[in-house]
């Protein structure tokens, strides 16, 4: 009996094979198809395809500016925690993006495939594929250089669907497979891109409907971000863990605040000190034993730890001696780790 793990391995292996095949196809399709068509005497067609491959991204980049109508307001709304309205704008942004990619690729591919009236179908397919995706591959690569993987994910998933569609078209003779699976591929890539966004939106909605004490804790955590602006790299890491802790311990936090055992501010700064201390002494951010990696968030985490304890002292929730003792414990742990 085949286990779930084996099935996952087969799927992962098949996906890797397909991605490898797509990568090879992207490198060779235009050259093989173009040269073959030149030998068939289609010089003007190859020249036109070459020009579109080189300069098409300027046209498509300009057209893509339409998505800013929805993308910019959507991002701003999510930043302001207007999650429902922000999600609607984000959805419309993705719909427009998919439409532009889909229709541009299918139109150029359809025009290029008409060359099959004058040449062998195989080089026409290769050349049409290369020309159709070249501008989008360029734009995706530029986004990737800027640290944005979303375009690359959409393009590669779209190419996977497109190639599968071409294969089924050759087998069945039904051209509809190409447009259908290409659209499925684009939708799949879009869903992969939106998973972290939806996770953030879901988390935001969950915060919005939390009890008053929990909402206060999140507000104090946001304010702390400004206080720790000198250590943004490290605080982003601490904040991510702190948000998870606040949500998972929401009932306990609410009860403790209502009973007067702790204030939201004390809870948050105690949590910041605890998380930053655990992270910086975990060994993950050492360059070698006892020494924090200067290129990582370790130094920021140590500054956050010290500042969090100083804030707790200022609030009267701990003494200078106790704070100094805790700081020293963390520094000893740092010396022993790595």
Cα dihedral 177, 180, 186, 191 in deg (nearest 10): -120
Q: How does residue 119 score in pLDDT terms, banded at 50, 70 and 90?
A: confident
- If asked whether residues 175 and 283 sit together in one domain, one would say no
Q: How does residue 268 score in pLDDT terms, banded at 50, 70 and 90?
A: very high
Query: What's the number of domains the chain is made of?
Result: 2
- If asked whether residues 118 and 226 sit together in one domain, one would say no
- Measure CA 222 to chain center: 22
In a domain, 310, yes or no: yes
Structural domain ending residue among the three candidates 176, 197, 218: 197
Burial annotation 62-93 (CB, 10 A radius, 16+ → b, else e): eebeebeebbebbbebbeeebbeebbebbebb
- Please indicate whether residue 14 or residue 114 has the higher confidence score (pLDDT): 114
- If asked whether residues 64 and 129 sit together in one domain, one would say yes
pLDDT one-digit tens code per residue, 44-83: 988 999 999 999 999 999 999 999 899 888 888 877 767 7
- If asked whether residues 140 and 283 sit together in one domain, one would say no
- If asked whether residues 18 and 153 sit together in one domain, one would say yes
pLDDT one-digit tens code per residue, 156-209: 999 999 999 999 999 998 989 999 999 999 999 888 887 776 666 665 555 555
- If asked whether residues 153 and 280 sit together in one domain, one would say no
In the numeric block, the tokens 């050492």 are attached to 286
- If asked whether residues 192 and 216 sit together in one domain, one would say no
Q: Indicate the helix (H) or strand (E) that contains 268.
A: helix 264-280
Cα dihedral 176, 179, 182, 183 in deg (nearest 10): -110
11: domain range?
4-197
- If asked whether residues 226 and 189 sit together in one domain, one would say no
Structural domain ending residue among the three candidates 197, 232, 263: 197
């Amino acid at each position: 009996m085949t286990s779930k793990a084996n099935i996952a391995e087969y799927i992962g292996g098949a996906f890797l094979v397909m991605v490898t095949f797509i990568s090879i196809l992207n490198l060779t399709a235009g050259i093989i198809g173009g040269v073959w068509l030149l030998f068939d005497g289609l010089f003007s067609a190859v020249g036109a395809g070459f020009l579109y491959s080189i300069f098409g991204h300027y046209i498509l980049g300009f057209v893509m500016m339409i998505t800013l109508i929805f993308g910019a307001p959507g991002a701003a709304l999510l930043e302001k925690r207007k999650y429902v309205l922000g999600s609607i704008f984000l959805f419309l942004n993705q719909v427009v993006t998919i439409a532009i990619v889909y229709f541009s690729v299918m139109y150029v591919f359809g025009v290029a495939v008409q060359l099959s009236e004058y040449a062998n179908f195989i080089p026409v397919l290769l050349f049409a594929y290369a020309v159709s995706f070249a501008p989008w591959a360029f734009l995706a690569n530029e986004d990737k250089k800027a640290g944005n993987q979303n375009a690359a994910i959409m393009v590669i998933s779209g190419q996977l669907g497109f190639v599968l569609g071409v294969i089924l078209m050759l087998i069945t003779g039904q051209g509809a497979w190409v447009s259908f699976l290409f659209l499925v591929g684009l939708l799949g890539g879009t869903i992969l891109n939106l998973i972290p966004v939806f996770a953030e939106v879901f988390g935001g909605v969950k915060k919005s409907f939390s009890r008053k004490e929990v909402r206060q804790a999140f507000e104090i955590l946001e304010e702390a971000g400004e206080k720790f602006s000198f250590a943004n790299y490290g605080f982003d890491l601490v904040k991510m863990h702190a948000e998870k802790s606040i949500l998972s311990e929401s009932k306990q936090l609410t009860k403790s605040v209502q009973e007067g055992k702790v204030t939201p501010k004390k809870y948050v700064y105690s949590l910041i000190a605890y998380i930053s201390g655990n992270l910086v002494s975990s060994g993950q951010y050492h360059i070698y034993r006892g020494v924090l990696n200067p290129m990582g968030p370790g130094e920021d985490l140590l500054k956050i730890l010290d500042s969090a304890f100083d804030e707790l002292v200022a609030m009267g929730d701990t003494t200078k001696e106790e704070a100094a003792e805790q700081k020293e414990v963390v520094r000893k742990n740092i010396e022993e780790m790595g």
